[in-house]
């Protein structure tokens, strides 16, 4: 199904099952421990051996000598794989760093060997016996230190690295009020619950891989490409994924080495990345240095806005897209953005939840708070005053054929999000004067920020089947990474076919199913259900043909098909056997004609200990506008998780770089801290009631990444309001506050 005109009224609009806050259909499997994760497919193949990865202990250089003899002779060892023994390997389209290193070493903990043994313990013991001598090369590890060597990348996502509208320099130079500040965000790790893990086995030239991935089709293609085999000879299975946050978008070392290990051992091999290996072996969110300049007139109208970002990656990598939202979020006649990329020899930089906006909003939304204060305007009001209904700096406008060269947003209820948030949070009771609200030993502060994240459209297919018993079976290679895909897909099929939810079976995460959008970029929910919608439209046509209806406007409800006063049981259509149909959604120019984005607001109350500067988050509110909410319960869980992650970014998360040795020092969950339940006492989420006919027949947009964008700045702004101390260097930790705290007495 080609989607190139706005969605009209369709069967989803009945909202008898879609739009309801239903429990996850996979919930019981998960809460009882019966949902098999990648390392747990014990019955999938007999005689499974265990592989343990050996990681490089230098950041850059060469292996001079690699001796596996002692490891091979260790008890239980079945095989040892190295780059040399593996032979020539290709590289996946989505990989920057080589997944099996040697003799060249590109980053710390790059995999250089896999030791396969009968048990995990034997493999781990033998892995220590692999002897490696290195020739160390000088590497670059310091983002701030290498800033002068930064280069202009070819592009940032699919936009040019630099953009300009009007004359920024002159407008900034003559503005009534200006702000010019630099903000920094650290390297961050996804820290998902389930480690990267894979089980591989070969049957002749056919490879089966049970793995933990967000993108089944990418894994299949890139594994085939790396191994130099046909994609059709790779079968990827990923029914349950314990989180990813972007860290499992791409083929990783566990999958490749499980496949190589299984080939070397001649039997099934499974490999999990031990937690201390994940932080340096896999990808991470890159640190950024962001300079923001804003000029405004006395009335608080922005006349100039500029955003520059520096980030780094390995050779051949890509920059962070932190300036992206600054092209779209606020009005202003004169503007500029610029992105620069440095080459560092740290582990690979790549996507992490809302890549671009997540870091960009951390900086921009502190800058907006600072500017509002300078102007003496309430921060909510300052944002409302600079709202825009067209995209102010839009490299894509020209190609879209938009009127006056300006594209509108498909929908933009941004001001509503701000107003509703302020009202529900009780913003008017906030004291604008920093450090002026006290409760005993605590300084109380309130902060807010906007939320913004783009909505992306990715084609997605599915197969649906109506069984003679009246059940509906959906098959698509979509993944459920803890997001609720199983449930919203079941809701979609049930709504379309007019059957209760219990009659729908959803099968996901298998490369033998039609290729879906996968889970990434907050596009999974809208796109995968739109694909299921398309397949169901075909199945409805097949049913209608079988039952001899010639009308176009049939109703499928309560297991009956109705039209023109005639009502026939759905099962009549399958009395001679099941019906199977397959289709997908493909997005035409509609996604380019208008800008599709999601909007929101975040409000936070913190308490800061007047003596120790310990920061406690007290309550949080998010208001989100994301098109139709397919399931308010799973959507709310997504936003709450994202808000929690935003608090992590604000207060806790930082990969500490050893700038001499070139690695992330705190590579475990004891030292890389993320918020836990007790850190967040109260969170509330409000969804605006809307539907976006430009997004898909589902009229939904992404929600899971919107929820993180802006949160950290709202927290930082609340800390400022509490203490009067402005921290522009994340995370906001007490050591950055304590010297400047107001007199505790
Ligand atoms: Mo998301 S960072 O595209 O999984």
What are the helix (H) ranges across 353-396?
357-375, 379-385
Q: In 10 A of CB 246, how many CB atoms?
A: 23
In order of their start, the domains of the chain are: 2-35+457-591 (3.30.365.10)
Angle between helices 253-265 and 216-227 (to 10 degrees): 50
Q: CA–CA separation, 717 vs 368, rounded Å?
A: 10
List, in sequence order, every beta strand (DSSP E) within 238-330: 269-272, 288-296, 302-313
Q: CA–CA separation, 119 vs 75, rounded Å?
A: 10
Q: CA–CA separation, 549 vs 562, rounded Å?
A: 9
Residue 505, phi then psi, degrees to nearest 5 = -110, 130
Pairing state of beta strands 597-609 and 615-625?
A: antiparallel
Residue 143 Cα, ligand 1 centroid: separation in angstroms?
23
Q: Which atom of ligand 1 is nearest to the CA of 248?
A: 4
Q: Establish whether the linkage from the previous residue to 103 is cis, with ω within 30° of 0.
A: yes
* Confidence (pLDDT) at 72: 98
**β partners of residue 304:** 295, 334
Nearest residue by C-alpha to atom 4 in ligand 1: 246
- Tabulate helix, strand, coil % of the chain (nearest 5): 30, 25, 45
Q: Sheet with 2-3: list strands edge to edge.
A: 2-3, 579-587, 460-466, 472-475, 504-507
Residue 703 Cα, ligand 1 centroid: separation in angstroms?
12
Write out the H or E segment, with its range, that includes residue 628: none
Q: Does the CB atom of residue 355 touch ligand 1 within 6 A?
A: yes
Cα distances (Å, whole numbers) of residue 78 to 50, 83, 109, 250, 514: 9, 17, 23, 28, 37
* Confidence (pLDDT) at 400: 72
Burial of residue 485, with CB atoms counted within 10 A of its CB: 0-12 exposed, 13-18 middle, 19 or more buried: buried
Q: Which atom of ligand 1 is nearest to the CA of 214?
A: 4
* Confidence (pLDDT) at 745: 56
Contact call for residues 246 and 190 (beta carbons, < 8 A): yes
Q: Does the CB atom of residue 214 touch ligand 1 within 6 A?
A: yes
DSSP assignment of 503-533, as one string?
Answer: GEEEE-SBTTSPP---S-TTTHHHHHHHHHH
Q: CA–CA separation, 585 vs 160, rounded Å?
A: 28
Q: Does the CB atom of residue 704 touch ligand 1 within 6 A?
A: no
Please give the torsion angle defined by the CA atoms of residues 609, 614, 615 and 616, in that order, rounded to the nearest 10 degrees: -80
Q: Which atom of ligand 1 is nearest to the CA of 351?
A: 2
* Confidence (pLDDT) at 406: 85
**β partners of residue 603:** 448, 621
* Confidence (pLDDT) at 81: 98
Residue 94 Cα, ligand 1 centroid: separation in angstroms?
13
Residue 586 Cα, ligand 1 centroid: separation in angstroms?
21
DSSP assignment of 326-351, as one string?
Answer: GGTSS--SEEEEEEEEEE--SSPB--
Catalytic residue among 308, 495, 705, 739: 705
Residue 179 Cα, ligand 1 centroid: separation in angstroms?
32
- Degrees to nearest 5, angle at CA 295 with 293 and 297: 165
Write out the H or E segment, with its range, that includes residue 228: none
Q: CA–CA separation, 294 vs 385, rounded Å?
A: 14
Q: In 10 A of CB 440, how many CB atoms?
A: 6
Q: CA–CA separation, 614 vs 618, rounded Å?
A: 13
Q: What is residue 712's three-state secondary structure?
A: helix
Q: In 10 A of CB 730, how many CB atoms?
A: 28
- Spatial CA neighbour of 691 closest among 8, 95, 45, 4: 8
Q: CA–CA separation, 557 vs 153, rounded Å?
A: 54
Contact call for residues 244 and 271 (beta carbons, < 8 A): no
Cα distances (Å, whole numbers) of residue 271 to 52, 69, 278, 554, 668: 6, 21, 13, 51, 18
Question: Token digits for 727?
Answer: 């921290």
Residue 589 Cα, ligand 1 centroid: separation in angstroms?
23
Q: CA–CA separation, 289 vs 157, rounded Å?
A: 18
Q: CA–CA separation, 189 vs 346, rounded Å?
A: 13
Q: Does the CB atom of residue 352 touch ligand 1 within 6 A?
A: yes
Residue 251 Cα, ligand 1 centroid: separation in angstroms?
14
Successive 10-residue mean pLDDT values, the chain, 745 residues: 97 98 97 97 98 98 98 98 97 97 98 98 98 98 95 93 97 98 98 98 98 98 98 98 98 98 98 98 98 98 98 97 98 98 98 98 99 98 97 85 82 98 98 96 98 97 98 98 98 98 98 98 98 98 95 92 95 97 95 92 98 97 98 98 98 98 97 93 96 98 98 98 98 96 78
Q: Which of 249, 357, 517, 641 to mutate to test the pocket of ligand 1 (most atoms within 8 A of CB)?
A: 249
Q: Does the CB atom of residue 351 touch ligand 1 within 6 A?
A: yes
- Degrees to nearest 5, angle at CA 361 with 591 and 651: 140
* Active site (annotated) includes residue 705: yes
Q: CA–CA separation, 707 vs 453, rounded Å?
A: 9
Q: Which atom of ligand 1 is nearest to the CA of 247?
A: 4
* Confidence (pLDDT) at 337: 98
Q: Does the CB atom of residue 520 touch ligand 1 within 6 A?
A: yes
Q: CA–CA separation, 301 vs 315, rounded Å?
A: 41
Q: Does the CB atom of residue 122 touch ligand 1 within 6 A?
A: no
Q: Does the CB atom of residue 246 touch ligand 1 within 6 A?
A: yes
Q: Does the CB atom of residue 518 touch ligand 1 within 6 A?
A: no
């Amino acid at each position: 199904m080609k989607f190139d005109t706005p969605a009209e009224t369709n069967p989803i609009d009945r909202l008898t099952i879609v739009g309801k806050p239903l429990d996850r259909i996979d919930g019981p499997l998960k809460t009882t421990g019966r949902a098999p994760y990648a390392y747990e497919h014990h019955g999938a193949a007999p005689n499974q051996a265990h592989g343990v990865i050996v990681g490089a202990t230098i950041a850059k250089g060469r292996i001079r000598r690699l001796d596996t003899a002692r490891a091979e002779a260790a008890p239980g060892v079945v095989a040892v794989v190295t780059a040399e023994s593996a032979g020539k390997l290709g590289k996946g389209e989505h990989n920057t760093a080589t997944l099996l290193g040697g003799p060249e070493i590109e980053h710390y903990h790059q995999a250089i060997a896999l030791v396969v043994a009968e048990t995990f313990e034997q493999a781990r013991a033998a892995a220590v016996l692999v002897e490696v001598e290195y020739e160390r090369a000088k590497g670059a590890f310091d983002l701030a230190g290498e800033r002068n060597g930064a280069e202009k990348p070819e592009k940032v996502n699919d936009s040019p690295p630099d953009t300009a509208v009007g004359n920024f320099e002159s407008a900034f130079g003559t503005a009534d009020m200006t702000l010019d500040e630099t903000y920094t965000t650290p390297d961050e790790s996804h820290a998902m619950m389930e480690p990267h893990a894979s089980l591989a086995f070969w049957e002749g030239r056919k490879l089966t891989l049970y793995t933990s991935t967000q993108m089944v089709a990418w894994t299949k293609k890139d594994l085939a490409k790396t191994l130099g085999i046909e994609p059709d000879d790779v079968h990827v299975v990923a029914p349950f994924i314990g989180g990813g946050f972007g860290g499992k978008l791409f083929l990783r070392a566990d999958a490749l080495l499980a496949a190589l290990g299984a080939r070397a051992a001649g039997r099934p091999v499974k490999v999990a990345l031990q937690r201390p290996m994940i932080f340096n072996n896999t990808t991470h969110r890159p640190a950024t240095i962001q300079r923001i300049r804003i000029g405004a007139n006395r009335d608080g109208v922005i006349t100039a806005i500029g955003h520059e970002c520096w980030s780094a990656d390995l050779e051949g990598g890509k920059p962070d897209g932190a300036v992206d939202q600054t092209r779209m979020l606020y009005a202003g006649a004169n503007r500029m953005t610029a992105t620069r990329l440095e080459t560092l020899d740290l582990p690979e930089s790549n996507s992490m939840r809302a890549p671009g906006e997540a870091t960009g909003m951390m900086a921009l939304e502190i800058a907006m708070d600072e500017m509002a204060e300078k102007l003496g305007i309430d921060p909510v009001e300052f944002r409302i005053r600079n709202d825009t209904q067209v995209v102010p700096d839009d490299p894509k406008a020209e190609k879209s054929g938009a009127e006056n060269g300006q594209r509108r947003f498909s929908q933009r209820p941004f001001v509503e999000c701000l107003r509703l948030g302020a009202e529900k949070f009780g913003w008017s009771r906030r004291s604008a004067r920093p450090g002026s609200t006290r409760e005993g030993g605590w300084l109380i502060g309130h902060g807010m920020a906007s939320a913004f994240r783009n909505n992306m459209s990715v084609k997605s297919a599915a197969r649906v089947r109506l069984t003679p018993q009246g059940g509906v079976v959906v098959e698509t290679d979509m993944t459920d990474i803890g997001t609720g895909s199983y449930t919203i897909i079941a809701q979609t099929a049930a709504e379309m076919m007019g059957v209760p939810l219990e009659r729908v079976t959803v099968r996901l995460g298998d490369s033998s199913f039609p290729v879906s959008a996968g889970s990434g970029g907050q596009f999974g929910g809208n796109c995968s259900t739109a694909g299921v919608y398309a397949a169901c439209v075909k199945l409805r046509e097949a049913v209608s043909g079988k039952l001899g209806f010639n009308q176009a406007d049939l109703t499928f409800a309560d297991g009956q098909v109705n039209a023109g006063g005639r009502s026939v049981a759905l099962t009549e259509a399958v009395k001679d056997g099941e019906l199977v149909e397959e289709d997908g959604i493909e997005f035409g120019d509609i996604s380019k004609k208008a800008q599709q984005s999601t909007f929101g607001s975040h409000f936070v109350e913190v308490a800061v200990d007047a003596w120790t500067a310990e920061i406690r988050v007290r309550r949080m509110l998010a208001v989100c506008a994301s098109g139709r909410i397919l399931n308010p319960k799973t959507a709310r869980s997504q936003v709450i998780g994202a808000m929690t992650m935003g608090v992590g970014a604000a207060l806790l998360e930082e990969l500490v770089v050893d700038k001499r040795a070139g690695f992330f020092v705190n590579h475990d969950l004891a030292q890389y801290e993320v918020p836990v339940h007790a850190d967040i006492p109260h969170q509330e989420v409000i969804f605006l009631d809307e539907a976006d006919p430009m997004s898909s027949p589902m009229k939904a947009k992404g929600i899971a990444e919107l929820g993180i964008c802006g949160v950290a700045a709202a927290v930082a702004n609340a800390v400022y309001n509490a203490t009067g101390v402005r921290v522009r260097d994340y995370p906001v930790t007490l050591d950055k506050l304590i010297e400047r705290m107001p007199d505790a007495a």
